[in-house]
Amino acid sequence: MVGPRRTITKRTRSQKGGRGYSSSAKRTMFFPAKHEKYADIVSFKNPEQAKHSANQLLLDFDMAKTRAKKVRVKRVTVLASSRAKASTQKKALSSKERKEYLEISAVYKKAYEKMVLPER
């Protein structure tokens, strides 16, 4: 004997499990580089090298012919700023290193604020 029929309803995002990872798993911004060119450009060694890297990224942004490349360069710059800022949370850093990471973050932030994407 078959029981009463159930109506099929669409599962919500939380029932599906969100974006493909469990809610207890933490996502990180420290993943391997997709683009080796930009991985070689971005530097966290000291603020002077970060300035040089930011200028190079700005130049790449200005020379980019497509919007997709401009988006990629801006995304790299935003990620560099975020990684530098997140690195200040490490417990084993000296106050000097923490200050340098904050300076590096500010350098990349200033660079990505100059990057204005064209309209679609």
- pTM attached to this predicted model: 0.76
Candidate from 17-21, 22-26, 75-79, 82-86 with smallest mean pLDDT? 17-21
Chain segment 26-45, per-residue pLDDT in tens: 778 888 888 999 999 999 99
Under 8 Å between Cβ of 78 and 94: no
- What whole-number distance in Å separates Cα of residue 111 and Cα of residue 54? 6
Q: CA 118 → CA 22, 66, 82, distances in Å? A: 36, 10, 23
